[in-house]
Structure 1
Amino acid sequence: MTLDDRRARRWRLVLGAAAEAETGALAAEDAGIDQALGSLYDSGKSESGKRTGGLGASAPKVARWLGDIRRYFPSSVVEVLQRDAVERLDLTQLLLEPELLEAVQPDVHLVGTLLGLNSVLPETTRATARMVVTRVVREIEERIAAHTRSAVTGALNRAARTTRPKPRDIDWDRTIRRNLAHYLPEHRTVVPQRLVGYGRTAQAVRRDVVLAIDQSGSMAASVVYASVFGAVLASMRTLRTSLVVFDTEVADLTDRLADPVDVLFGTQLGGGTDINQALAYCQSLITRPAETLFVLISDLYEGGIRAEMLRRINALRESGVQVLVLLALSDDGAPAFDRDNAAALAALGVPAFACTPDAFPELLAVAIDRGDVHAWAARR
């Protein structure tokens, strides 16, 4: 197949049957791909104004379509097609059928949809939905857990550094680098004038971490990722981790952190947003401001009292709390957010930016180590 032929094929698949006169007919092996795409993206209208294509209301038909797209496309494309199908063809009700859930490609966005339907899931579907959520959560844990523990442990160790370590606690690498000025060429050695090591506080709680997660509908992916991160952090004995979710009400899910799936099923995606009320509750959890990292994950569309929200965040910062505001914790690209509130936070010296799940462990390490989070964000 020539380059021109490949281009014509791609345009035909993108534009549909209407472009066949200009691009030429598809080869037989592409007919299935064209049919799968046409079922979703055919925007033709009948005389009644309804879509001429579509997957209809038949669960078996949808299940076959799900099987087709998994055969024709890589998993990243399958996730996009599934999400478009739910939004464009109103397949929400079909997600209540366990047979269909067993056929889908699990991903973060599907989990968000299922969590939004949590209150209406019938018992026959609830177990299957939990299996889907569990699978996605476990995949995320495998992706981020080891990196998170390593990054956070390194930051905590640096924070616990001492210049009077016991012999077994000496960090020889840092000690040598700190004392290179005292190198004796004739002896080919360094005579350390100052030792560097770690304090014997490995089992003590060194930092408190409070995660406050906006559970409005637009934050679904962030809720999923933040819940998994919260569970990973809660598994570290050197941290005391609290997790709070909120809309117009506040729910403390700290007691569920042993299992992020339980955390997710404790959320209630959708509804309004009262950040100020959530901040008031989180303030009550903070007993060691200088040792606390507070992470607010929200698009900052405040439905509560804006001036009070800003005052509370500033009060946290002035008390010594390390405050971070993430506009999103997801892989979805640039998020929508309230730019006026983000600018107001920046004026207070509180960084507000989006972060991907893969970058979050490094951001945690910088924050725990009291590093320059603004500089870190600028480098990203």
Structure 2
Amino acid sequence: MPETITLTPAERWRLLLGEAAETGLARLDGEAAAMDRALSWLYGRDGGDPRDTLDRQGGNEPSALSVPDWINDIHTLFPQETIERLERDAIERYGIDEIVTNPEVLARATPNPALLEAVLRTKHLMNPEVLALARALVAQVVKDIMEKLAKQIERSFSGVKHRQRVVPTGAASQFAAGETLRRNLRHFDPASRRLILARPWFHHNTRRRLERWQIILLVDQSGSMVSSVIHSAVTASCLWGLPGVKTHLIAFDTEIVDLTDHADDPVETLMKVQLGGGTHIGKALAYAAEQIEVPTRAIIVLVTDFYEGMAEYQLVTLTAALVAQGTKVLGLAALNDRAEADFDRRLAEKLADAGAHIAAMTPGQLANWLAEKLG
């Protein structure tokens, strides 16, 4: 997970007391302002509760946050113990349970990526009836993402026509009319003014012949990486059917979950992912290394924000060893439709120095990168 947001004492008091203290304390901006907005959205609903140790006072301005927005914001801004407290207060004190307890609300919800992220973050709170509806919502959003990505991956791996090369046999759709005329000009009969086509020619349509490769998607499932988790699951599913490619999908925090058996079903994958917890990237990379069959024909795609919760030595040393044996290591700080990332640049630079490729990509860009390396 990202490093803890550092607040000054004045900012802490300002968050504690609410907007009423705005004039007497520091004005909030950036992440601190976002934290205050999230807290005000929840605790600004009444004048406070004596049982609430924060005893906050909220502002009077209407909030533009929706329930999914709020859930996604608090998972980005606060540590895990605070998230659990906020979610508990939202449900138990304020009855804000549209997402996790109300099947009618969830059934009316418009499927979209933001709602999908909120569902994945709160599915552990859902009863079976709501969970079934949530699964259907996940399936619809995943279907929309897959339809777009599948076309991009197909284009990346389908090969191209080489019009400079022609062969004497081929399908009608590959008929090289211009080249056929040019090569048969010597058979032109001036008397009858007819051109006899002694031999037709066809464009040679080549496809990249993929030898057996392994693509190991190693995905950080900490809460800040939820968008990349979604797109990694969809990407793995699209790669699953490629000829000559063996795809692995592995999720990790401080523990490792091998989801390869479900890699062809992104909905099942996402319903099994448990977001949150710490991060041990080195341990996960060591597990991925154990899955490699032929080092020179393996690619590890490490999707993480590079905030390592354990000693960095193992991660950096193992990365260098993998590169030295001929394995390609691609570290992605983000794998989503925006390719935007907040990550530990210092550690990412260390891995780049060890030989890893470091980037942030959309799934389509990843497909192009993989096709280039496998071609």
Does TM-score exceed 0.5, indicating one fold? yes
C-alpha deviation, 1:146, in angstroms: 2.0
Which residue of 141, 145, 150 maps to 1:136?
141
Instruction: Say if 2:294 is the partner of 1:288.
Output: yes
Is the contact made by 1:152 and 1:368 (CA closer than 8 Å) also made in structure 2?
no
CA contact (8 A) 2:159 2:206 kept: no
Q: 1:221 aligns with which of 192, 216, 227?
A: 227
User: Which whole-Å CA distance do the structure 2 matches of 1:309 and 1:229 have between them?
Assistant: 24
Matched, 1:148 2:153: yes
Among 55, 58, 82, the alignment partner of 1:50 is 58
* Aligned residues of 1:151 and 1:361 also touching (Cα < 8 A): yes
Give the whole-Å Cα distance in 2 for the aligned partners of 1:166 and 1:327: 49
Residues 294, 102 of structure 1: CA spacing in aligned structure 2 closer, same or farther, 3 A cutoff?
same
CA displacement at 1:131 relative to structure 2: 0.7
- Residues 65-214 of structure 1 aligned to structure 2 (within 5 Å): 83-86=68-71, 87=73, 94=97, 95-97=99-101, 98-154=103-159, 206-214=212-220
- Specify whether residues 96 and 81 from structure 1 end up closer, same or farther in structure 2 by C-alpha distance, changes over 3 A only: closer
Note closer, same or farther for the CA distance 1:288–1:265 as it changes in structure 2 (3 Å cut).
same
Query: Quick check: 1:109–1:220 contact (8 Å CA) kept in 2?
Result: no
Shift in Å, 1:317 = 1.0
Partner of 1:239: 245
CA displacement at 1:46 relative to structure 2: 5.8
Distance 1:146 1:331, change over 3 A: closer
1:45 Cα deviation from its structure 2 partner: 8.7
Specify which of 330, 338, 353 is matched with residue 324 of structure 1.
330
SS at match of 1:117: helix
| Aligned CA distance change for structure 1 residues 309 and 218 (closer, same or farther; 3 Å) | same
Q: 1:357 to 1:81 in 2, by over 3 A?
A: farther
Post-superposition CA distance 1:280-317 (Å, at most 9, x none): 11111101111112100001101122111011111111
Counterpart code for 1:223: V
Preserved contact between residue 45 and residue 52 of structure 1 (Cα < 8 Å): no
TM-superposed CA distance for 1:40, in Å, is 7.1
Q: State the alpha-carbon separation in 2 of the partners of residues 328 and 245 from structure 1.
A: 15
- Pick which of 306-315 and 80-89 moved more: 80-89
* Aligned match of 2:317: 311
Q: Which runs of 5+ in 2 are unaligned?
A: 1-39, 49-55, 75-85, 176-181, 187-203
Letter in 2 for 1:84: D
Alignment CA distance shift 1:54-1:153 (3 Å): same
Q: Which amino acid aligns with 2:252?
A: F
Change (3 A) 1:227 1:44: closer
Query: Separation in 2 of the partners of 1:320 and 1:117?
Result: 41
Q: How far has the Cα of 1:269 moved from its partner?
A: 0.7
For the pair 1:302 / 2:287, whether they are aligned, the reply is: no
Deviation at 1:145, TM superposition (A): 0.6
Distance 1:360 1:118 in 2: 29
| Residue 166 (structure 1) shift | 11
Where does residue 350 of structure 1 map in the other structure? Answer: 356
Contact 1:46 1:52 in 2 (8 A): no
- 8 A contact 1:215–1:223 mirrored in 2: yes
**Aligned counterpart for 1:253 among listed residues 246, 249, 259:** 259
Normalising by structure 1, report the TM-score: 0.64
Note the alpha carbon deviations across 1:57-116, whole angstroms, 9 max, x for none. Answer: xxxxxxxxxxxx9xxxxxxxxxx8564344479667521131221232322232222222
Instruction: Report sequence identity in percent.
Output: 30
CA contact (8 A) 2:319 2:355 kept: no
Distance 1:230 1:84, change over 3 A: same
| 3-state SS of 1:335 partner | coil
Q: Deviations over 1:118-151 (max 9, x none)?
A: 3222112110110110011000011111221231
Report the Cα offset of residue 357 of structure 1.
2.9
Between Structure 1 and Structure 2, which shows a larger proportion of helix residues?
A: 1
Distance change (3 Å), C-alpha of 1:115 and 1:244: same
Q: Does the CA contact (< 8 Å) of 2:120 and 2:275 recur in 1? A: yes
Instruction: Go from structure 1 to structure 2 and tell me whether the alpha carbon gap of 1:362 and 1:333 turns closer, same or farther (over 3 Å shift).
Output: closer
Q: Deviations over 1:222-261 (max 9, x none)?
A: 0000101101111223211111000000011010122110
The size of the alignment, in residue pairs, is 286
Give how far 1:358 is off.
Answer: 3.6
- Structure showing greater radius of gyration is 2
The change in CA–CA distance for 1:254 and 1:112 in structure 2 (over 3 A counts) is same
Q: Which residue pairs with 1:76 in the alignment?
A: none
Aligned partner letter, 1:210: I
Asked if the contact 1:247/1:270 (under 8 Å) is kept, the reply is yes
Structure 1 range deviating more: 242-251 or 81-90: 81-90
Q: What is the CA–CA distance in structure 2 between the aligned matches of 1:152 and 1:100, rounded to whole Å? A: 41
TM-score, structure 2 normalization: 0.65
Q: Contact conserved, 2:332 with 2:358, CA < 8 A, in 1?
A: yes
Q: Which residue of 2 aligns with 1:21?
A: none
| Superposition map of 1:15-26 within 5 A | none
Alignment of 1:264 with 2:270, yes or no, is yes
CA distance in 2, matches of 1:276, 1:166: 55
Paired position in structure 2 for 1:13: none
